[in-house]
Amino acid sequence: MPLGRFFLDGHNLSKGIQKVFSQGKLADQLGQLCLAHTLYGSVQPFGISALIAGIDKDGTSNLFCLKPSGVFWGYRGCAIGKGRTLARTEIEKLKLESMSAREAVEHAARIIHMIHDEVKDKDFELEISWVSKSETNGKHLPVLKLIIEAAEIQAKESLSSEMED
């Protein structure tokens, strides 16, 4: 985890400088940091993936997935970690451009509950954060518990109705 904390300090690049970074520039800078840590034997590679999301000053929303090698790509929707393959397949089925932030939370809850294997995996508490023009005024904030609870109820109902069909 210390490497992850060091990696997150890369986000503080924009805090020491008065100039605001776009998400693309931040992804590029962190990608170069990851690449440097894979090239040289004197430093240990990070071995973590990261999602970088935000809204630029011109109002465009961005989502980048940064790989441990330093390579990053832009996405409309992405998943990392355990179960990412199935999650990405489900995300690709969604019409993300026409979806509101609250609908995205409901779909995220459904996908996470669908991937979770109750036999093998531990119980979990669902935590979701979002960046939205309408809901958060462009800031990264945690989703309210009431919204998450409603999304979880709807996700469980949706999954149980799919199982019956």
Mean pLDDT for 91-117 is 93
Tokens of 12: 């503080």
pLDDT band (50, 70, 90) for residue 1: very low
**What structural domains and CATH numbers belong to the chain?**
1-75 (3.60.20.10), 77-165 (3.60.20.10)
Cα separation, 121 vs 93, whole angstroms: 25
pLDDT band (50, 70, 90) for residue 101: very high
Mean pLDDT for 66-84 is 93
* Interval 8-36: pLDDT, tens: 665 555 555 556 678 888 888 888 888 88
66 touches 30 (CB < 8 A): yes
Mean pLDDT for 89-97 is 94
Q: Where are the beta strands (DSSP E) in the chain?
A: 50-55, 61-66, 72-74, 129-131, 140-142
